[in-house]
Structure 1
Amino acid sequence: MSDDAATDSETPEDAEALAERVRDGELRLHELEDHADADTAATARRLLVETQSGADLGTVGDYAFPAAEADSAIENMVGTVQVPLGVAGPVRIHGAALDGERYLPLATTEGALLASVNRGCSVLNDAGGSAARVTKSGMTRAPVFRVADVAEAEALVSWVRDNEGALAEAAEETTNHGELLDVTPYVVGNSVYLRFRYDTKDAMGMNMATIATRAAADVVEAETEASLVALSGNLCSDKKPAAVNAVEGRGRSVTADVTIPQETVEERLHTTPEAIAEVNTRKNLVGSAKAASLGFNAHVANVVAAMFLATGQDAAQVVEGANAITTMEVVDGGLYASVSLASLEVGTVGGGTKLPTQNEGLSVLGVAGGGDPAGSNADALAEAVAVGSLAGELSLLSALASRHLSSAHEDLGR
């Protein structure tokens, strides 16, 4: 239990005494670390929650690393929630940043997902592996400013275009690693949105971009008639389905592809290139268009979510990560398949990547910490997620084409 990870001076009475002080109104939950180490504080909170709810939090309280190591990732910690972790592969990846065979770590509670991705990985290997490339990179933040009228809006747009260097200087003073790549203005009546895009190297970079943009926004206010209304005006767009991310990208835009020989499709996937291509066209392209979907794929979110949980990414950004298009095309002698993820927001430093278990997931891929050159580890992680997504798409689409989807779930008891 977590008490085992505590210091020798810590006793259960310490935690009970803290819990009693919260019950008496002397302390608040978030103040417990001011009076005890992080593990004792977590134990005290569990005692309080157990008393109030009647729940037994013994399993939640049985975690493998000191609670202090989660300090930057959580507040009011009571323990951890464990999600089963598995691996698919190894799969052969021919990327610009990641080249070689890798196991793909996936954390999920969806039975049959690992088996499906693993099948796709084996098919990719039979075809010689999958290529992957990051085609665009940049984390965005888009503040909204109020102006008097459209004439003032046009003046602000012109000023921004003429003074992007000054905005970059202000933004980059706030970070040792971030670099402002460009600023794109959008005008809606008397609102002006400035979409700042940054190279954040191996960090996912949302906090970096926010702090840097705050400094740049101060310059805008000081030098123009515009007034900042909100540091985020939703044109970023973070953790929401958005066409701007599908078109312009956010985080990393990455594509993985492969050409699979016809005999491999028939022997390993038990269907034909023509059948898989038709399922993809009618399901992922036409069906998604009819549904007005922003994702034209079968289940990219499954792999993105599982690899995000396994490697300490911001789970809410699966919304953007699943913004992907899958293509399947019959070519001479086989099947060409690709997955293009427009807005995959990943990092290998900062945030949840510092947690010991998630850092181990990154280590499985060989991408923990900062890369050399800077940004190469996050590029490699993006390539691995794209290849895993391609494996998942191939497996599911072929199961649909061969009409084996339901029987596969029945066989696995899911």
Structure 2
Amino acid sequence: MAKINILLADDDLIFCRLVKDILQQDGHRVVVANNVKAAREATSQEHFDIIMLDMCYPSIKDGFTLLEEFRGAYPNSTILMISGSGHIPDAVLALKYGAQDFIEKPVEPPELRERVKRLAQRQSRDQESINKFASIIGIVGKSAIMQEILDKIHKAAEFDTPVLITGETGVGKELAAHAIHRLSKFSHKPMVSINCASVPKELFEAELFGYEEGAFTGATRSRMGYFEFAKDNSFFLDEVIELPLVLQAKLLRVISEGEIQKVGGKVMEINTRIISATNQSLEQAVESGIFREDLLYRLNAIHIRIPPLRERPEDIIPLARCFVKDFCQRNSIPIREITPDALSFLYQSEWQGNARELRNSLERAMIFSDGKDLQLKDFTKGASHFSVSDCLDTKHTLREAMRVFERNYIEFHYRQNEYSLARTAEKLGLDRSNLHKKITAYCIKEEEEK
């Protein structure tokens, strides 16, 4: 287990000495604060991985006051509450107010070590998840906007306010939702999620809200819906724009009143944190009459837009290197370098599918690569299709669209045939001189003829 930095905030001097000795034996650094002032000074001066906090301080009403303060000010610290009363409701309240764990005095050394170990491991997993998310959407790169997004995620996770995540396909909206969940007070549970585009309209209400036995023909037993599963948890609604209008009103009730009603059942209270996402404009959907304006306002309480790669090209190269490293580590192979010509290709490519397409392209190249380094030719192996999305730009005239299509089509087959002019010409039904003229005119990079 990694050695960590711990703050022990307790006015019991004997207890503090005992705990400090035990944890220092395991190699951890322990700072003791015997009063509220010392605890506040310590946390203002350095980061603590774990804060062990006494529930009973003479100078304040109770430990919950300090718990709320520290939870809000230091969301990256894990809080372990300490109580000498053995009062069960105290433990329940501590967890409700944001503590990750609760321990009673007197504490046995094995139990203390196990609790600290478990909390440290969970914090490490959370940080790895956040780092992975950051890598996937580009925070390992140079763009300042991605740093702002991560900061928004950290702040949004502290509260139960609905979050709307927008952005094109492949930018990492679901990963952002998972990052918010893992930083939230619900992180001890798996996040509940549903893709609204994948649910048949006739089943939507039953899937989301559940139903009671006998509610309709075929309802032979009661069934819980997604909202009930998401009680005291985060609920991620992907492609929320696909939610039928009739159910949008019910979702609004969940957010506004904290209530749901099963099909054929009674109203029940529910506490769930709504995170939604879409790759389309909800504002335009409101104008078109397919999405409720009042629901948009509630979902959009916190808005996080994840930009496409074309708006942050400086992130492509660091992101590519991160994906290669991740792939190599997952598959227990030596980490490969990317050659300059391959890096140039990656930087100049459009990546219409954003980070997802970039990752897929790199992983496919890694699989079909024969050398120690990742080369330009590796990006042609294993490719089974080419993208026509560029020529579908409505700004193009017909002539321009045809030129874009022709260039993409030639470039694709040229790469498929490993830059062999003869084989490509045969495949396309062109003579070699004509193909060579087109390759030159379109500035398609030529490799040594096979």
Name the TM-score, length of structure 2 as normaliser.
0.22
Structure index of larger Rg: 2
- Structure with greater proportional helix content: 2
Could you say which structure has the greater relative contact order, defined with CA pairs below 8 angstroms and 6 or more residues apart?
Answer: 1
Greater per-residue strand proportion: 1
TM-score between the two structures when normalised by the length of structure 1: 0.23
